[in-house]
Amino acid sequence: MTTLLGFDYGTRKIGIAVGQTITASATPLVTLRYLQQRPDWGGIEQLIGEWQPAALIVGLPLDLDDSECEIVPRVRRFARQLEGRFRLPVHFADERMTSREAASRTAGTRIKPDQLDAIAAQLILETWMSVQEAARRA
């Protein structure tokens, strides 16, 4: 079994989920808010220490026409920082529509708005695992 952490990067907060490859499923963990206009590196470090992931998966925001969104350079920088700080492999997953899907899945429920980012991270992680599984079978 391999444990992974997934990240839904935003400019003010980052949703994080944990997943494992045996069932290719993930669970939303937490949404961390920025501290002094920077990611909460201490919070991320704590989660990495707790879950001991083999790799980190970061959602890459693409438009429907496959072009990169304005935020992509910041997402790539965040991924490089993750890799440099924690010495873990970082992979990207197409995160198109994950925020909308997270909102759709939770419509009519009593969840806090911050939980949507962690649910989006769950979807990013599950998407990446399903793509890897499909590629392995091909």
pLDDT in tens, 83-123: 999 999 999 998 876 655 655 665 556 667 678 899 999 99
pLDDT higher than 80, residue 66: no
Q: How would you list the strands of the sheet with 25-33, edge to edge?
A: 25-33, 13-20, 3-9, 55-60, 90-94
Which residues, in sequence order, are bridge partners of residue 4? 19, 55
Tell me which residue of 53, 75, 52 sits closest to 62, measured CA to CA.
75
- Size of the chain, expressed as the number of residues it contains: 138
pTM of the full structure: 0.87
Integer Cα distance of 136 and 22 in angstroms = 14
Task: Determine the average pLDDT of the residues in 44-59.
Answer: 97
Q: Which two tokens stand for residue 73?
A: 């350079």
Least confident of 10-19, 30-39, 55-64, 70-79: 55-64
* 2-28 pLDDT per residue, tens: 999 999 999 999 999 999 999 999 999
In order of their start, the domains of the chain are 3-137 (3.30.420.140)
CA 138 to each of CA 2, 132, 135: distance values in angstroms, whole numbers, following the listed order: 21, 10, 5
